[in-house]
C-alpha cells in the first residue's frame, strides 16, 4: 500500500525518518555488457514506477521482468512509454516484458490500448510481451525464475548472479530453496508481525533468510506496522529492512 498508507496517522506513517517513507516495491539491476555498454532491467513497474525511475535517473531500459499481476506491481507499466520511445529510436525495437502467461493475460486486459492487435492509440508504449521462462539471458546476464507462493498464486522470484529478489512471498517451495545456494544478497518480502494470508510475517522471512544463509538479506514490501529503526534493532545483523533508494553491489 505504500507508507504513509492512505488515511493512516500511525507513528510510522507520520514518521520523519525518510526510511519510513516507502514506495511500492521494485528493483533495478544495472551492469556493463561485454562491449562496455550500460544495461538496465527492472523487476515490476508498480504505481510508483515513474517517481522511482526519475529518482534513479533511469534513461534507458533493456527489459522488464514481472513477478505477478497485482496492481502494486504492474500499474506503472504505461510510464515505460518515454523509455520505450527512446529504445525504439535507437534500436528500432520494443522493450521486452517478461511475464508468466497469467500475468501477461492481465497486462493485456488492463492495457488493451497497448497490446490489442487492434490498438490504434498512436503513442502507446513500444513494449512486447515475452513468456517468462526458467532462464532468460539479457545482454550476457542470466535471470533465473524461482517460483514461490503468494497465497494461492504461484508467482516469480528471480536469481541473478549472487543475488535473488523475492516479493509478495508466503511460501518458498523446497525446489526453490535449492536454487538459492551461495547467495551474497537476498531480497525478501516481510509485511508485518501479524499473519497475513498471502504475505510472510517478519518472523517467517527471518527464518527463510537464515535458512538461505545469504551474506546479507534485505527485507522489502514492508507495511506501516514496521518502523525502520526499531525493527532493525530486533533483527540479526545481516538481515535489515531495505529502504527506498538503497543500492547494493552484486556480482552478475
Where does residue 12 rank: exposed (0-12), middle (13-18), buried (19+ CB within 10 A)?
buried
Q: Tell me the pairing of strands 27-32 and 153-160.
A: unpaired
Output 78 or 154, the one with its CB closest to Zn ion: 154
Q: How far is the CB of 166 from Zn ion (least distance, A)?
A: 11
Give the count of residues interacting with Zn ion (CB under 5 A): 3
Position among 44, 62, 72, 244 found at the interface with Zn ion (CB under 5 A):
72
Position among 44, 48, 62, 168 found at the interface with Zn ion (CB under 5 A):
168
Grid cell digits, residue 125: 508504449
**CA 205, CA 150: separation in Å to the nearest integer?**
13
Output 36 or 197, the one with its CB closest to Zn ion: 197
Output the residue with the shortest Cβ distance to Zn ion: 70
159 binds Zn ion, rule: CB under 5 A: no
Residues 6+ apart with CB under 8 A from 16: none
48 binds Zn ion, rule: CB under 5 A: no
44 binds Zn ion, rule: CB under 5 A: no
Output 48 or 72, the one with its CB closest to Zn ion: 72
Position among 19, 70, 159, 228 found at the interface with Zn ion (CB under 5 A):
70
Q: Which stretch binds Zn ion (CB under 5 A): 34-42, 91-99, 166-174, 235-243?
A: 166-174
Q: How far is the CB of 68 from Zn ion (least distance, A)?
A: 6
Residues 6+ apart with CB under 8 A from 90: none
Please give the sequence-ordered ranges of beta strands (E in DSSP) within 119-173, or none if there are none. Answer: 127-131, 135-138, 141-150, 153-160, 163-165
Q: Which stretch binds Zn ion (CB under 5 A): 32-40, 54-62, 66-74, 79-87?
A: 66-74
Output 87 or 191, the one with its CB closest to Zn ion: 191
Contact 164, 157 (CB under 8 A): yes
Q: Cell numbers 506513517 label which residue? A: 13
Contact 202, 190 (CB under 8 A): yes
Q: Which stretch binds Zn ion (CB under 5 A): 14-22, 35-43, 69-77, 241-249?
A: 69-77
Q: Which stretch binds Zn ion (CB under 5 A): 27-35, 50-58, 124-132, 164-172?
A: 164-172
Q: How far is the CB of 220 from Zn ion (least distance, A)?
A: 10
Q: How many helices (H) and strands (E) does the chain have?
A: 8, 12
Residues 6+ apart with CB under 8 A from 249: none
Residues 6+ apart with CB under 8 A from 230: none
Which positions touch Zn ion (CB under 5 A)? 70, 72, 168
Amino acid at each position: 500500500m505504500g507508507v504513509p498508507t492512505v488515511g493512516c496517522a500511525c507513528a510510522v506513517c507520520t514518521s520523519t525518518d525518510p526510511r519510513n517513507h516507502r514506495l511500492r516495491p521494485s528493483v533495478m539491476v544495472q551492469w556493463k555488457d561485454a562491449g562496455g555498454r550500460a544495461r538496465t532491467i527492472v523487476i515490476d513497474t508498480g504505481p510508483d514506477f515513474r517517481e522511482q525511475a526519475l529518482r534513479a535517473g533511469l534513461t534507458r531500459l533493456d527489459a522488464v521482468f514481472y513477478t505477478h499481476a497485482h496492481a502494486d506491481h504492474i500499474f506503472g507499466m504505461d510510464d515505460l512509454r518515454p523509455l520505450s520511445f527512446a529504445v525504439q529510436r535507437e534500436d528500432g525495437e520494443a522493450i521486452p516484458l517478461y511475464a508468466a502467461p497469467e500475468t501477461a493475460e492481465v497486462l493485456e486486459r488492463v492495457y488493451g490500448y497497448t497490446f490489442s492487435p487492434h490498438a490504434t492509440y498512436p503513442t502507446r508504449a513500444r513494449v512486447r510481451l515475452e513468456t517468462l521462462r526458467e532462464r532468460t539471458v539479457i545482454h550476457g546476464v542470466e535471470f533465473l525464475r524461482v517460483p514461490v507462493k503468494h497465497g494461492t498464486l504461484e508467482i516469480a522470484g528471480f536469481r541473478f548472479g549472487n543475488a535473488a529478489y523475492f516479493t509478495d512471498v508466503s511460501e518458498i517451495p523446497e525446489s526453490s530453496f535449492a536454487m538459492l545456494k551461495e547467495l551474497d544478497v537476498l531480497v525478501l518480502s516481510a509485511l508485518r508481525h501479524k499473519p497475513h494470508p498471502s504475505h510472510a510475517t517478519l518472523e517467517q522471512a527471518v527464518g527463510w533468510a537464515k535458512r538461505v544463509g545469504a551474506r546479507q538479506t534485505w527485507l522489502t514490501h514492508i507495511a506501516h506496522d514496521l518502523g525502520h529503526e526499531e525493527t532493525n534493532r530486533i533483527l540479526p545483523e545481516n538481515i535489515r529492512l531495505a529502504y527506498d533508494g538503497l543500492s547494493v553491489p552484486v556480482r552478475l
